[in-house]
Amino acid sequence: MTAETSPIRFDTKIAVLLREDLATWQRLNVTAFLVSGLGTRSPEVIGEPYRDADETEYLSMFRQPVLIFEGSGEVVTRAHSRAVARNTAVAVFTSELFGTGNDRDNRAAVRTVPREKLDPVGVGVYGPRNVVDKIVKGARMHP
């Protein structure tokens, strides 16, 4: 096995944790919003652009898998607190954001609520594997 054919192991992890009672469309929407922020804080998670055999160039994507978890509201709230306490790259989606329709209103909705009173329905985190594992502890892999 050569360096180019051996499996790539990452010492970091990208994880999304969703509240278990979300509708399917909400899970997909929240996941998309959450992961969109991770590369802005941690550009090393973004790989190189893709090219097909005809040299058509495609956008870069994450360089590693994104693991999706689910849990109760308590589990999501605890994960949010753990991520903030560990100064981890974290994105948050609160229940209030389902009632807004644009970035300005989304940011304003989060801005009006103290951190301890936020109602997160999802969090996205990136960091060392062991730290992310501790943040999502109590959650289960999304089915």
pLDDT tens readout for residues 113-142 = 999 999 999 999 999 999 999 999 999 999
Q: Give me the percent of the chain exceeding a pLDDT of 70.
A: 97
Residue 56 binned pLDDT confidence (cut-offs 50, 70, 90): very high
pLDDT digits (tens, 9 = 90+) for 20-36: 999 999 999 999 999 99
- The pTM of this model reads 0.91
- C-alpha–C-alpha distance, residues 142 and 90, integer Å: 19
Domains of the chain, by residue range, sit at: 12-141
Mean pLDDT of 25-50: 92
Instruction: Determine the residue type at 26.
Output: Q
- C-alpha–C-alpha distance, residues 68 and 101, integer Å: 24
Name the CATH architecture for the domain at 12-141.
Answer: 3-Layer(aba) Sandwich (3.40)
Q: What is the mean pLDDT of the chain?
A: 94
Q: Which residues contact 55 (CB under 8 A, 6 or more apart)?
A: none
pLDDT reading at 3 higher than 80? no
